[in-house]
Amino acid sequence: MSSDAQDGIVIIGAGECGARTALALRDQGFAGAITLLGSEAHLPYERPPLSKDALTGIDNPVLREIASREQFETSGITFLPSSNAVEIDREGKQICLSDGQALGYSRLLLATGASPRRLPMAEGSRHCVYLRTHDDSILIRERLGRGGHVAIIGGGFIGLEIAASSRKLGCAVTIIEGLERILMRGVPAEIARVIHDEHERHGARIITAQGLASIEDSDDQAIITLTDGEVLAADMVVVGIGATPNVALAEAAGLEIANGVAVDQNLRTSDNSIYAAGDCASFPVAVYGGRRVRLESWRNTHEQAKIAASNMMGRDAIIDAVPWFWSDQYDLGLQVAGLADEGATTVRRDLGDGAFILFSLADDGRLVAASGIGPGNSVARDIRIAEMLIARRVHPDPAQLAAPETKLKALLAA
């Protein structure tokens, strides 16, 4: 089948961002054709549960679908599962698919997401796995059900969440991080230490500042040799060493790449007819002087889906949100607003019951980030207010930030 229609919108990528953009287009009144291309056979689904409930739930993991097939049909959205775009013809405004189809577009959204960063020495191992898709979670869940020893390569969020799920199922867990501590990216050391201790309290072993010398398969286990000579035998090795944006299609089309598909404050790429959003896109953050970042977060995909939909309809919505992300580690909730590495000094605010927030201030005293941790959602309200303070570029009194009796809302009002 081929199409030369030039009045429709094509979205490549049916993850959280792509699917929600398609729905937002209809919600915002777009009446033209919408085609949503998904590389997986499943309907679009949410990914955060994959490292949590999908692994530990009593029943087999069920897709948390973003929309049903009927909803897409009712909305007039053509969803094409198991469809892979292989080329963007920018001059002809067409997408070439692996099955020979050619889809015309007037505007195109790249929501191609990211893929797990590969560990070369793990390639070809029967015991090494990655977590990105629903099918991955089914495989990992089945192996976790056998018990035994699980080795996690990488002390980032995904690795730690899988470690927590593994411990809940009774597996022995070893976390191996090559850097000097876990959560080196974006999380202050003081909070990382709390999470480190929580994992050890639940029985996980954490090895830091150790590299991998080799990973080899035996008949039923992976044999891991560390650079200090220690040898570990694991029934399953989960590799969680970060993600890389899926930019091959954009790069081959000649679009600008900068740690992702580079977009402006309107999510427009170097081609005015092509937009990019979600995990694959890097964008300027106004509150940090236009610093370009790429965020792999649930809320970022939701916000950018609405912006992309609006701007592909000819409007001028801009990215103005403060970066925010969260993670659950056992019974602890972690939330971070802003970019902590923008700070020069830190102010601690204790909230009681072990909960606290670290406020990061720039050289000029401006609040640039707030990182909090505590039981459940104990830090959520204050982090939300801090987020608004960051957006308003407030220069708060450090003594007031530190004092628990000071209401953050008062600083916002001032």
Position 5 scores a pLDDT of 46
**133-163 per-position pLDDT tens digit:** 999 999 999 999 899 999 999 999 999 999 9
Strands (DSSP E) along 41-153, which ranges?
A: 77-80, 85-89, 94-97, 102-104, 107-110, 114-116, 128-129, 149-153
Amino acid at 126: R
CATH number of 9-47+63-115+244-312: 3.50.50.60
pLDDT, mean of residues 190-200: 98
Position 4 scores a pLDDT of 42
This prediction's pTM = 0.94
Q: What is the mean pLDDT of the chain?
A: 95
Residues 28 and 317: beta-carbon distance below 8 Å = no
Q: Evaluate if residue 119 carries a pLDDT over 70.
A: yes
pLDDT, mean of residues 81-108: 96
**358-412 per-position pLDDT tens digit:** 999 999 999 999 999 999 999 999 999 999 999 999 999 999 999 999 999 999 8
Position 59 scores a pLDDT of 67
pLDDT, mean of residues 118-133: 96
**281-315 per-position pLDDT tens digit:** 999 999 999 999 999 999 999 999 999 999 999 99
Position 62 scores a pLDDT of 75
pLDDT bracket for residue 192 (50, 70, 90):
very high
So what CATH class is 331-413?
alpha beta
pLDDT, mean of residues 54-66: 80
Position 395 scores a pLDDT of 96
Which architecture characterizes domain 118-241 according to CATH? Answer: 3-Layer(bba) Sandwich (3.50)
- Taking CA atoms, 13 is separated from 85, 102, 404, in Å, by 9, 16, 45
% of the chain exceeding 70 in pLDDT: 97
Neighbours of 197 (CB within 10 A): 11
Q: Domain coordinates of the chain in residue numbers?
A: 9-47+63-115+244-312, 118-241, 331-413
Q: Greater confidence, 59 or 201?
A: 201
d(CA 263, CA 318): 11
d(CA 241, CA 225): 17
pLDDT bracket for residue 357 (50, 70, 90):
very high
Fold match flag (9-47+63-115+244-312 vs 118-241): yes
pLDDT bracket for residue 6 (50, 70, 90):
low
pLDDT, mean of residues 340-355: 96
Q: Evaluate if residue 83 carries a pLDDT over 80.
A: yes
